[in-house]
Each structure stands twice: as C-alpha cells, then as structure tokens.
C-alpha cells in the first residue's frame, strides 16, 4: 500500500498540522511516512499545502505531481490541484467558499462542511480534525485508534487537554462526510 | 528500545548534534534552515549535555567562532543556507588550511544572490571544488533522507576528526523541511580527552606549545604543507560512500544525490514497472566522489544521466569519471523549482530512447 | 446625492501616495513597515526629488521595498546597504541616497558597515526600522530584542547573560563625529507619524549640507513575530519598547542633545 495525499488550503487552517497528525498516525500503524510542506513567505496569510505519503515500503520521492487523494480547503487549492488527482483518485473538500466545484467524473468526490460545523461547535481550531475524520472515514488507511495516538504524539504535552475535543471533532467529521452531489 | 520520532531534516540535525556529543553550535538565522538553531534553543542543550549554542551576529562571525573553538579540539559546528555559506567561505578556507575538524551544514536554496528560499543543488561546485581560496577540499556528505540528516552528523564528525578536515553536510530545502520517521542515535558522551599534539588548550610542561595557523610565509614550507594536504585528500578516497539501486541488470544509469536521488528513486520504480532497466547510483559522499565505481559502471551500461537541481554541476564529475566511455546526459531544474519523478521519466524515455 | 457628486477633487481627504506603486503591500496587516515606506515617499514627492533619489533595500521583510517605492532602488546583501549607499553617494554626490534597514540587517550582520559609514560621515540617510525581532525569517532574536522577550531562538526569553543584552546602536553611532542628525521615532499613531515624517524630511534636507549621516530609527511593531494582534502589539510596544528605546532627537546639527 502507498497512499499519496495532498492537503491544501489557507495558511492558518491547520493544513500542515493535519498532515503531521496523519503522518504520525501512519508511524503508529508501522508505516513509512513523509511530510513535505510548501514553505516560505507564501504561507503568510496565503496558501499552504503539504504532501503526505503513507506506505508499507520505503518512501521514494517526497514531491509528486499526481496524487491518490486531494483534500482541498479553498478555491485556489481546488483550482490548482483538481487536475493532479490520479484517475480513480479521491477528493475531499469543504464547500464553504467554493464557487467553482470540481468537474472531473473519473474520481470519487466527497464533501465535509467543516467550516460550518467548526463554527457551530464554537471551536474553529478543530476545523482540521473534522476534515481528518472525514478522510479516515472515506479512506481508512489508518485506524481511528492510531490517529488518536498520532494526535497525542504530535501535540506538545501542554496541549494534551485538547485531545478529547479533537477526538470529538474527528468522530464528528467521520459522521458528517458524504458523497458530493454532482452539479450537472 | 528504538527511539523513533517524526522530524524535519533540520530538527534531526539539531537533535543528532546533541546526541553526538557536540560541544558547540554557532549560527545565524536563514531560511530554510532556521529550525536547526530554533530546535537547539528549545531543547536547552546546556542542560542536556552541556553543549553551548550561540546565535552569532552573522555567518562571518559564526564560522570564525567555529574556527576558534575547533582549534581547541572540541566538536563544533555551524549550519546555514547558501547566502550564509557564501559569507563563510573565507573562514572555511582558513579552517581547511589550519587543518581543523568541524562540521558545516548547508541547507541549500536557489541562487545566485538572494535567489529564492526554495530547494536547490546549485552549491555543488562551491562545496566540492573549493568555494573559498586555495587548493583545499572538504569532506562532503549528501543526505537523501531525514534519517541520513541525523546519521551524517556523527559520521561527519568522525571523518572530520579522522582527517582533521572540515566536513560539510550538503543538504537542501527539501530534505531540511520535510518530516520523516527517524531512528534517533544513542546519546554519546562529550569528549573529554584532547589530542595534545595540536590543540590549543594551554601549553603544559610536558609538551611543546601548539599554534593554529594557515600561514607559511616561507614558500618552501607552504609548498610542503600543500603537498601534505593533497596527500590527505587523496587518502580520503577510501571513505567514498554510495548506494546502488537496481543497478545489477541496468542498461541505463541515473546518477543523483540528495533530494534529486529521492525523486529519481521513484522514476526508477516507474521505469521498472514499464519493464525498462534503469538503475540509480546515489553518491552519499560527493567529496570523495564515487569516480571509480562510475568508471566501472561505464563498462556495463549504455548511457548515464546526471539528474540534479542545478544547471549541470555534478554532471562534470560524472563525465570525468567515465571519461567518454558512454554518453553522459544531464537533466536539471534551476532556480528553486523541483523536477517530479514524471519529469525525469519523460527525459529518460527521451534520451535513453535507443534501448527501447 | 449622486455618487459622482461626492467623488470630487475638493472632497478628497486622502489619496494614495503618488510615489507608492500600485503593488499590494506584502507586509502583514498591522505592520509598521508600510507606513514608514509611505512617509519616505511622501517626503520625496513633496521635495520634488524623485529623479534624484536612490534607495537601498535591505534583506528583511522590506527586501522588496522596491516593489512599493516608485523610485530607483538597489537591493543589498544582508547588512551591506550602507556600503552600497557609500559607493553610490561617493560617485553621485548630488543625489539623495538612503538605506532602509531592519534591526537584524543594520545592527547584527551589518554592524561594521553601519558603524563605518557613520564614522566616515557619509552624506546619506539611514532609515532604521527596529521591531526587536527578525520578521522575515520567522521571529528569531534580534540584537534589539528586549531582555526576557521570547523569540524562536530565545524561546524561554532573552537571557542577557548568555545572549548579550539588547543594545542601542542608534545612541552608539550618535557618538561618532560622522553623524550629523540622529533621532528615534514611531509610526503607530497619528501624532508620532507627523513627527516621524518631519524627521525623514530633515534627513533628506541634511544631504544638501554635506555634513554627514542622518540616521532615523523607527521603533516599530512586528505583530506576526511577536505573536500578537496588531493593536496589542502597539500597546506592548509603547509599554515595553519605548522604555528601552526612548523617542526623540539624540543628535541635532552634529551636537548630542543630552549634551555629553
Ligand atoms: C547572509 C544572509 N544571512 C541570513 C539571511 C536570512 N535573513 C533574511 S532577513 C533576516 C533578518 C531580518 O530581520 P530584520 O533586519 O530585523 O528585518 P525585519 O524582517 O524584521 O523587517 C535574515 C537573518 C540572509 N538573507 N542572508
Ligand atoms: S513579519 Fe513582522 S516585520 Fe515582517 S511584515 Fe509581518 S509584521 Fe511586519
């Protein structure tokens, strides 16, 4: 198994830390992992993306042109990465703020209304965990328990009181995710 | 029990430095390697091992702090990225001339000038052909993973002390910024005994005084000194290191180091799945360079291609090594852009077309 | 009333500074850099010296100041702006030459160039933006970082014993005979902005006299690097930075203001 994922959105949406938790979850599941961020001033209020690879074998290239999964959290990311999905690939996106929805018909497309739900939960910082939950529901490459272990590993001790809240958000994301209706 | 962590390459260098028993780190912030010093400061190494970490006012100062401290026989290092390493060249030349061990980490970004903060391998010439003035060489290690970023710290010091020569880890923004699983090396003690034949720790009754210098006003002495250096550089060749991936039956050979080797590894997989016999030779040491191995391979393969994130630097050494025996192509990307495995594959299919 | 009747020259209370380009500022919202850029360009415009002004951009957040200032500019290596300015001014003495530098650029890596340009009394203006941190590289400690202040390379607060105390390079260079005008200002409120602009004007006017360096320091905020909201950063700046870096003239017409 090798799963090549791109996660992209605004800086501040927790894109990089979501990738990190996913990579840690992979380690907990005895996988080989890599996490390669976009870096630099581009991130200051702009867009951020990270490539995460989970594999049973040694990870070769940490930079890729095409992906098995794309998790897209704003319009720029949608515009940039929709075309990079491999045929049969998986897209998960938050429809919030999206005006040009995906068009491809050779991929599986799911939605999770994470922005709205995070606002409803009055917990904007758990936005990325809702999305992570959605992902592991649709594509269970890592087990829920290992995600929680990964979460513990990647959060510094002083933030461990936030774990239950994040756990709830992951579960909520798993419940909420649904297949996108095709806009004709 | 194995200690496994998920870390950036830059953080792995820092953690490995503490564990290698390094005595001192001197640095100045620069993207994409600032995490090295940031991680060290966060770890309170003065409490963990007694290691000293100091933010200098510039890279000129950091390398000269290293120069000073290296003369006392302690394990000292610095890290920076391209523009900062350029500033250090004077100091590096002095350290090489005075034959002192130290470790310099370059997390390369695209140049020339201020350039870009994105990954590049365009400092190859600077690292293996001198960089500073005079006939000197560095020991140059090229990590291709976060694990090697950690492992090469200790290895770098081992070689630096073996040859009393500055060693460099030539990495780039990709290896520095990405996170991978690392098995952390065990904690080493800091060295307490110093080689009294050359260190300046204070002249005691039982030895002659020691002087650290790179100056020989007498041309005969400087001539002798240079010959001795050249002999040393020659002897370093025994420590050449490389990795061969799918080379046994390869018709065509890619040659790549560091991040580019990682990209090529995937290209090899892709090519192999199409039944094309491509192999990859990955130098782990760029100086010494695996010339002998490449010469050997040139008798077996039909052509080679050096793949690097530059306009063509390492390719010159590959050509020198095979000496016209087989065609040596170059494929590169410049200015902080990164080629993808697919890019390399299409170049491979294009250039190595004869075989297929 | 029709909107066209409102948008008229005589109703205009604010306009984009003509010598600022139309490029969107790359600075974080709330950052002082943009205001200082604008003030310098206003002065250049008011003095009518656009065609005689040459600016030097630093390495720091203001590295692309040339994208925003509509004048001829050169971009220096980190810390070397005063050397570039020297080279230009010596060969073009009738031009107005200024550098624009952060604290890392001017007071760490460029200390030698700063001190020696000041000591030689180069007839240039130096605009020094002191935000107590390395903004561009992500919030590392600067030579001006206050004691106890947290940064990414002083995560437990600056410890003067091991990291050295913050230092006032502005007061230091004021001691050199080559400086003619040295002052410290801020741009976080309208009052200070007016004073800061006068100081910038003074620094440009002084170049006509050929009497040496005019250095104006701006104590400014880096809300991103300090990890504060813009407003909190300005309050924190007033309460902490201004105590250590007091506002006002330090040297006027070649004479130290405090008379020592
Ligand atoms: C030789 C060299 N070393 C280091 C750097 C990295 N670097 C870029 S900006 C900067 C510091 C900027 O801080 P400051 O001058 O205070 O300006 P600010 O960004 O805060 O406005 C550093 C260290 C570089 N570009 N060149
Ligand atoms: S990082 Fe700091 S100095 Fe740089 S633009 Fe942002 S607020 Fe201003």
Lowest mean pLDDT among B276-290, C15-29, C167-181, C236-250: C15-29
- What is the interface pTM, i.e. ipTM, of the complex? 0.91
In the numeric block, the tokens 């470790």 are attached to B103
Q: Taking Cα atoms as reference points, which of B237, B249, B225 lies closest to residue B139?
A: B237
Q: How far is C217 from chain A (nearest CA, A)?
A: 25
Per-residue pLDDT of chain B (356 residues), as tens digits, is 789 999 999 999 999 999 999 999 999 999 999 999 999 999 999 999 999 999 999 999 999 999 999 999 999 999 999 999 999 999 999 999 999 999 999 999 999 999 999 999 999 999 999 899 999 999 999 999 999 999 999 999 999 999 999 999 999 999 999 999 999 999 999 999 999 999 999 999 999 999 999 999 999 999 999 999 999 999 999 999 999 999 999 999 999 999 999 999 999 999 999 999 999 999 999 999 999 999 999 999 999 999 999 999 999 999 999 999 999 999 999 999 999 999 999 999 998 865 44
Q: Is C139 in the pocket of ligand 2 (CB under 6 A)?
A: no
What are the strands of the beta sheet with B102-108, ordered from one edge? Answer: B52-55, B24-27, B76-80, B102-108, B166-172, B139-141, B285-287
Q: In chain B, what are the domains?
A: 4-201+227-238 (3.40.50.970), 243-353 (3.40.50.920)
In a domain, A170, yes or no: yes
pLDDT score of A42 = 47
Selected residue of A62, A83, A84, A153 to mutate for chain B interface (largest B Cβ count, 10 A): A62
pLDDT score of A12 = 83
Q: How far apart are CA A141 and CA A55, in angstroms?
A: 10
pLDDT score of C4 = 82
pLDDT score of A43 = 46
In a domain, A73, yes or no: yes
Which domain does A48 fall in, by range?
Answer: 2-179
Q: Which residue of C has its CA nearest to B33?
A: C137
Q: How far apart are CA B70 and CA B166, in angstroms?
A: 10
Q: How far apart are CA B270 and CA B349, in angstroms?
A: 11
pLDDT score of B7 = 97
In a domain, A184, yes or no: no
pLDDT score of B354 = 56
**CATH 3.40.50.970 is the classification of domain C31-147+163-256:** yes
pLDDT in tens, A4-57: 999 999 988 999 999 999 999 999 999 999 999 988 754 455 689 999 999 999
Contacts 24+ apart (CB under 8 A), B223-226: B226/B135
Q: How far apart are CA B214 and CA B181, in angstroms?
A: 42
Inform me whether the pLDDT recorded for C230 exceeds 50: yes
pLDDT score of A45 = 56
In a domain, A31, yes or no: yes
pLDDT score of B356 = 47
Which ligand lies nearest to the CA atom of residue C230 in the structure?
2
- C138 in contact with B at a CB cutoff of 8 Å? yes
CATH number for the domain harbouring residue A148: 3.40.920.10
Q: How far apart are CA C156 and CA C134, in angstroms?
A: 17
Inter-chain residue contact A44 with C136, CB threshold 8 Å: no
Q: Taking Cα atoms as reference points, which of A2, A10, A174 lies closest to residue A92?
A: A174
Q: Which residue of A has its CA nearest to C27?
A: A44
pLDDT score of B249 = 96
Q: Which residue of C has its CA nearest to A45?
A: C28
What pTM was computed for the model?
A: 0.94
Which ligand lies nearest to the CA atom of residue B63 in the structure?
1
Contact by Cβ (8 Å): B243, B254: no
What are the strands of the beta sheet with C72-75, ordered from one edge? Answer: C72-75, C53-57, C96-102, C125-130, C213-219, C179-186, C248-252, C255-256
Contact by Cβ (8 Å): B282, B261: yes
In the numeric block, the tokens 């100086």 are attached to B287
In the numeric block, the tokens 């075989």 are attached to B355
Atom of ligand 1 nearest to the CA of C62: 21
The dihedral over CA atoms of C180, C184, C187, C191, expressed in degrees to the nearest 10, equals -90
Strands of chain A (E only): list them: 2-10, 32-37, 47-55, 67-72, 85-93, 108-111, 178-179
Q: Taking Cα atoms as reference points, which of B344, B12, B18 lies closest to residue B177?
A: B12
- Within 6 A (CB) of ligand 1 lie B 28-30, 59, 83-84, 87, 114; C 59-62, 78, 102-105, 129, 131, 133-137, 142, 222
pLDDT score of C10 = 86
For a mutational test of ligand 1's pocket, the pick from C30, C31, C59, i.e. the residue with the most ligand atoms closer than 8 A to its C-beta, is C59
Mean pLDDT of chain C: 96
Residue ranges per domain, chain C? Answer: 31-147+163-256
């Amino acid at each position: 198994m090798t799963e090549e994922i791109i996660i992209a959105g605004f800086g501040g949406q927790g894109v990089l830390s979501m990738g990190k938790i996913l990579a840690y979850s992979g380690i907990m599941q005895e996988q080989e992992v890599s996490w390669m961020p976009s870096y630099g001033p581009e991130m200051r209020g702009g867009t951020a993306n990270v490539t995460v690879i989970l594999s049973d074998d040694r990870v070769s290239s940490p930079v890729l042109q095409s992906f098995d999964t794309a998790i897209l959290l704003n319009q720029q990311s949608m515009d940039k990465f929709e075309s990079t999905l491999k045929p049969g690939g998986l897209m998960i996106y938050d429809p919030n703020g999206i005006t040009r929805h995906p068009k491809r018909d050779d991929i599986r497309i799911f939605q999770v209304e994470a922005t709205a739900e995070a606002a409803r939960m009055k917990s904007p910082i758990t936005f990325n965990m809702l999305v992570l939950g959605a992902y592991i529901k649709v594509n269970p490459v890592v087990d829920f328990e290992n995600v929680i272990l990964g979460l513990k590993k990647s959060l510094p001790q002083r933030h461990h009181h936030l774990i239950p809240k994040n756990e709830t958000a992951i579960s909520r994301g798993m419940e909420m995710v649904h297949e996108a209706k095709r806009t004709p | 029990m194995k200690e496994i962590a998920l870390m950036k390459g830059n953080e792995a260098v820092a953690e490995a430095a503490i564990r290698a028993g390094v005595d001192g780190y001197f640095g100045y912030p620069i993207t994409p390697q600032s995490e090295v010093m940031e991680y060290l400061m966060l770890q309170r190494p003065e409490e963990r091992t007694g290691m000293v970490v100091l933010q200098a006012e510039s890279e000129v100062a950091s390398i000269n702090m290293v120069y000073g401290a290296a003369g006392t026989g302690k394990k000292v290092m610095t890290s920076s990225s391209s523009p900062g390493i350029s500033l250090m060249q004077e100091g590096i030349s002095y350290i090489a001339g005075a034959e002192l061990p130290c470790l310099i980490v370059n997390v390369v970004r695209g140049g020339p000038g201020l350039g870009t903060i994105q990954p590049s391998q365009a400092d190859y010439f600077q690292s293996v052909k001198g960089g500073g003035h005079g006939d000197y060489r560095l020991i140059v290690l090229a990590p291709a993973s976060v694990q090697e970023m950690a492992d090469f710290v200790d290895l770098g010091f081992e070689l630096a002390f073996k040859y009393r020569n500055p060693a460099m880890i030539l990495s780039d923004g990709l290896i520095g910024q990405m996170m991978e699983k690392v098995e952390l090396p065990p904690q080493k003690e800091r060295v307490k005994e110093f080689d009294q034949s050359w260190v300046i720790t204070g002249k005691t009754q039982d030895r002659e005084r020691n002087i650290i210098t790179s100056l020989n006003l007498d041309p005969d002495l400087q001539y002798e000194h240079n010959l001795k250096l050249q002999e040393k550089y020659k002897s370093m060749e025994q420590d050449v290191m490389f990795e061969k991936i799918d080379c046994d039956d390869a018709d065509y050979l890619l040659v790549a180091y560091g991040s580019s080797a990682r990209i090529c590894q995937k290209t090899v997989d892709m090519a192999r799945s199409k039944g094309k016999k491509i192999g990859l030779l990955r130098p782990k040491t760029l100086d010494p360079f695996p010339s002998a191995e490449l010469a050997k391979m040139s008798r077996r393969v039909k052509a080679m291609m050096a793949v690097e994130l530059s306009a063509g630097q390492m390719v010159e050494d590959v050509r020198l090594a095979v000496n016209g025996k087989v065609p040596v192509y170059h494929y590169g990307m410049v200015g902080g852009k990164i080629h993808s495995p697919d890019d390399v594959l299409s170049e491979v299919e294009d250039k190595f077309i004869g075989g297929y | 009333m029709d909107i066209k009747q409102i948008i008229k020259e005589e109703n205009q209370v604010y306009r984009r500074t003509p010598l600022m380009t139309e490029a969107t500022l790359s600075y974080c919202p709330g950052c002082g850099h943009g205001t200082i850029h604008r003030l310098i360009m206003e002065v250049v415009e008011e003095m009518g010296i656009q065609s005689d002004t040459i600016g030097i951009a630093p390495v720091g957040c203001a590295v692309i100041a040339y994208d925003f200032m509509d004048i001829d500019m050169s971009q220096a290596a980190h810390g070397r702006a005063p050397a570039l300015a020297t080279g230009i001014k010596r060969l073009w003495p009738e031009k107005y030459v200024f550098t624009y530098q952060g604290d890392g650029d001017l007071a760490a890596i460029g200390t030698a160039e700063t001190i020696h340009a000041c000591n030689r009394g180069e007839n240039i203006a130096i605009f020094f933006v002191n935000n107590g941190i390395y903004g561009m590289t992500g919030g590392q400690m600067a030579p001006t970082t206050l004691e106890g202040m947290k940064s990414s390379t002083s995560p437990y607060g600056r410890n003067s014993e091991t990291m050295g105390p913050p230092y006032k390079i502005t007061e230091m260079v004021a001691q050199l005979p080559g400086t003619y005008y040295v002052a410290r200002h801020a741009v976080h409120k309208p009052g200070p902005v007016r004073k800061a602009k006068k100081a910038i004007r003074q620094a440009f006017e002084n170049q006509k006299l050929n009497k040496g360096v005019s250095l104006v320091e701006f104590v400014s905020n880096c809300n991103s690097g300090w990890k504060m909201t813009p407003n909190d950063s300005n309050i924190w700046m007033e309460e902490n930075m201004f105590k250590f870096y007091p506002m006002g003239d330090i040297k006027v017409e070649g004479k130290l203001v405090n008379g020592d």
